[in-house]
Every structure is written in structure tokens, then in C-alpha cells.
């Protein structure tokens, strides 16, 4: 899927606003987006090395 920043840029290009990026440094970044029907969707990026 690519990085969370790439996903956010693609959403912004489509005119879809996202909430603030939150998470735990070095572990995970998460953002919530509302689709046109109002459903909330979370996108997350794992920042660990997969260990």
C-alpha cells in the first residue's frame, strides 16, 4: 500500500479530508478518514522492523 503519507496524499488529491495522524513513535501511525457515507475508516502504518 505504501506509506501512510502516500495514502494521505492520494486521499487529498481526491478531495477527501483526513483526521490528524496519531500513534506511538517508532511503533505505529494511524489516521481516521470518513467515506462519503459517513463510515469511519482507519489507515495505519507499522513503523517497526517487523520483528
Condensed to tens digits (0 to 9), the pLDDT of residues 14-38 reads: 989 899 999 999 999 999 999 889 9
Could you give the residue ranges of the DSSP H alpha helices within 1-51?
Answer: 4-13
Strand order in 22-24's β-sheet? 22-24, 28-34, 40-46
Sorted by where each begins, the domain ranges of the chain are 4-46
pLDDT of 1 reads: 58
Percent of the chain with pLDDT over 90: 75
Question: What is the spatial distance between Cα 20 and Cα 4, in angstroms, rounded to a whole number?
Answer: 12
pLDDT of 36 reads: 84
Q: What is the CA radius of gyration of the chain?
A: 12
Amino acid at each position: 500500500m505504501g506509506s501512510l503519507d502516500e495514502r494521505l496524499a492520494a486521499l487529498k488529491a481526491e478531495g477527501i479530508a483526513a483526521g490528524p495522524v496519531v500513534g506511538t513513535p517508532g511503533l505505529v501511525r494511524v489516521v481516521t478518514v470518513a467515506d462519503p457515507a459517513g463510515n469511519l475508516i482507519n489507515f495505519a502504518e507499522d513503523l517497526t522492523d517487523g520483528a
